[in-house]
Structures are given as structure tokens and as C-alpha cells.
Chains A and B, each alone.
Chain A
Amino acid sequence: MRLTEIVALLAAEPLVLDEGMDREITSVHASDLISEVLASCSRGALWLTGLLDPQIVNTAELFDLAAVVFVGNRRPSEGILALAREEGIPIVATKLTMFETCGLLYTKGMLPGTRGR
């Protein structure tokens, strides 16, 4: 799926966009633990999280993740968004819960963004 389609599916608000909006995304990693992303997330995955920390953006950039979706109606701070703009990491926010977000993406055939799968 393209990020634009994911935004529509999740009725999400695109907060930071970049030229990568049309990139094809095939896998998703859902976690609030950065440690877990480092240990098991695959390259190019979409990251769903409820953790609002600037380190999310650094992690997404360092590990070539496609974009970050903040779930559960959480608004990232302007600092997080500024960092994401600087690093070219697309950020979207949805009011849907983690469970609902995962469920919708799963029905669209998205795969686990987990290494070795």
C-alpha cells in the first residue's frame, strides 16, 4: 500500500509529508518499545506507536523505516515534527487505537515487519 492509501484507510492526519508518500509499503511493525524495533523490525516497515518521544524519529531515520503512525489520538510535539521534517520521515496521526489500526492494515494484506519472517 502507498502511504496516501494508508492515511485514507486510517482516517489519519498527515502531519509531516515527504516525497516518499508514493513509496510502496508492504510491512508493519507495531510497538511502543524502541528496543524491540531495533531487535526485530525489518527495513522499510511502517511503524505504529503510541510512544511520543523524539527518539522515535531518530530510530525511524537510522533504520530506514517508511513512516511513523502515531495511534490512539496522540499528538506529537512540534519538536518531534520539526525533527521529522529535518530527517525526511513522514509522520501521520490517527484517532484509531493500536488494535484498530493493526486490524485494518492486516485486512489489507500488510505483512509483519519482523525480521526473519
Chain B
Amino acid sequence: MATDGSMLFRRTFQITGSDFQNAGSVSKEIKKTLKQLSIDGELIWRVMIVSYEAEMNVVLYAHECTVTLEISPTAIHLVFDDRGPGIPDVPLAMTEGYSTATREMRERGFGAGLGLPNIKKTCDQLEVTSTVGVGTKLDIRIIIPGVVSKAA
């Protein structure tokens, strides 16, 4: 986690696996927070793509997840650290169209195998680390454009 002295905001959230009732609620909270901080709408929209994809991945596949949102003057940093089955082959999971979704997931409109590739496409920096049987961690950074970092 960054120890940037210019951190404006930091908050953590919890997601529970298979909880379809509350699926999307963490992304909604993040959206509300970004709006309150007067972050640009187009940027919020990009953050929502990333956070909703990641949140649905947890609901669909994992047991539980801690989400950390950090906002600095130059970037939005999201970490999804889950306890779950893990991803045996990360590069394969990053391939568009590859999916291990069940029929039920597909009936709910998910599981097209677009999630991780879409996160990668939408954010500025993505790091995926995963251990089978333990969990997966997504470290995501979105640069806030047009802001030049002031020298400390």
C-alpha cells in the first residue's frame, strides 16, 4: 500500500461471495465517495467499470474480499484482496472470452470472460497475484489526468 504523504482519502470495504442481494453495493459506495470528492464524471465511470467488474468477480467466485480505496491528488488506487479459489493460470484468465463461469452465472448475465481483460483495458496499471486455494489480489491504479504532482 502506498504511504504517499499526500493521500487525500482512504477507506476499506467488505464484499461477501455469493451475496447477489448486495452485489454492486461496494461500487455504489465508491461512486458516492468519488462524487463527494468532486472527481470528474468520466473518470468515475472508468473507476466504476473496474470496481464493478472486480466486485462481481468476488461475488461470483470468491468467499470474501477486502477492498481498499485510496485517493491521492494524482491517482485512484483500488486493491481487491480476496479469500477464494485463486486463479490457476492468470495469463489465461486475462484472455478475452476465457471463462470458468457456471450456467447460473451466465443466466444472471455474467461470465462472458470479459472481466479481467476489461479491467486491464480500463485502468492505467493492473497487477494480479493469485495463489490457488488461497485467493487473488488485484492492485489497480487509475491516473487522475490533468493533475501535475506538486513537489513536496
Contact = CB atoms under 8 A, between A and B. Distances in A.
A8 interface: no
Q: Taking chain A's interface residues, is the majority helix, strand, or loop, or is none over half, making it mixed? A: helix
23 contacts: A33-B110, A33-B112, A34-B56, A34-B109, A35-B113, A35-B114, A38-B52, A38-B114, A39-B118, A43-B45, A55-B24, A55-B109, A56-B109, A58-B24, A59-B52, A61-B28, A62-B28, A62-B31, A63-B45, A63-B48, A63-B49, A64-B41, A64-B45
Contacts of A22: none
Interface in B3-49: 20, 23-24, 27-28, 31, 41-42, 45, 48-49
B84 interface: no
A34 B108 contact: yes
Interface in B95-150: 108-115, 117-118
Interface residues of B, number: 24
A48 to B, nearest CB: 13
Nearest to A42: B45
B53 interface: yes
Given A56-B109, A62-B27, A36 B52 contact: no
Contacts of B113: 35
Nearest to A61: B28
